[in-house]
Amino acid sequence: MPDVFISYSAKDETLARKLKFALDSLGVKTFLASLSLQTGRKWKEDILKNLRETKWVFFLATKHSCESQAVMHELGGSLVLEKELIPLMWGITPNELPDWAKDRQAIDLQDPNNPKVKELIENIAEKVKADRFIGSLILGALGVLFLYAIINE
């Protein structure tokens, strides 16, 4: 199950891979269609499955992705599923974001003076790790309770 789903245009593959590898280096499990989909699988189903399972969606907002119907479908799904959606702008301004994304705090990845880029990735990595830890504790507790119930039957 991915922690972060990256929604992007295939025309921005190089940039999307850099983002994925940066997140991976921090221990964040990232879904990037070109690298995460298995050969021979029905890709639309796998994309939807991973979108459902993730908590965070990074919208790699470029001119190409803002014109991509596939990206708009993924992002529409992320809004319906109430995911944590973060627009990461590259080569566009906030005014060029789709209308539905303009009310979200976006990060300009090209701003060299913006400490938020590194900070954002590090903060999300920490939140993902904390969520995973809490999830593991809950699963562990449920397992103990289940075993206790079986033993005491």
DSSP string covering 35-80, please? HHSPTTS-HHHHHHHHHHH-SEEEEEE-HHHHH-HHHHHHHHHHHH
Tell me the whole-structure pTM to 2 decimals: 0.75
pLDDT of residue 8: 92
pLDDT in tens, 71-120: 898 888 888 898 888 898 889 988 899 888 888 888 887 776 666 667 76
Does 147 or 99 have the greater pLDDT score? 99
Q: Which residue has 């090209």 as its token pair?
A: 110
pLDDT in tens, 54-70: 888 899 999 999 999 98
Q: CATH number of 4-151: 3.30.70.660, 3.30.365.10, 3.30.450.20, 3.40.50.10140? A: 3.40.50.10140
pLDDT of residue 46: 76
Domain ranges of the chain: 4-151
Asked whether the predicted pLDDT for residue 21 surpasses 50, the reply is: yes
Using CA atoms, how far apart are residues 35 and 147, in angstroms rounded to an integer? 39
Burial of 124 (0-12, 13-18, 19+ CB in 10 A): buried
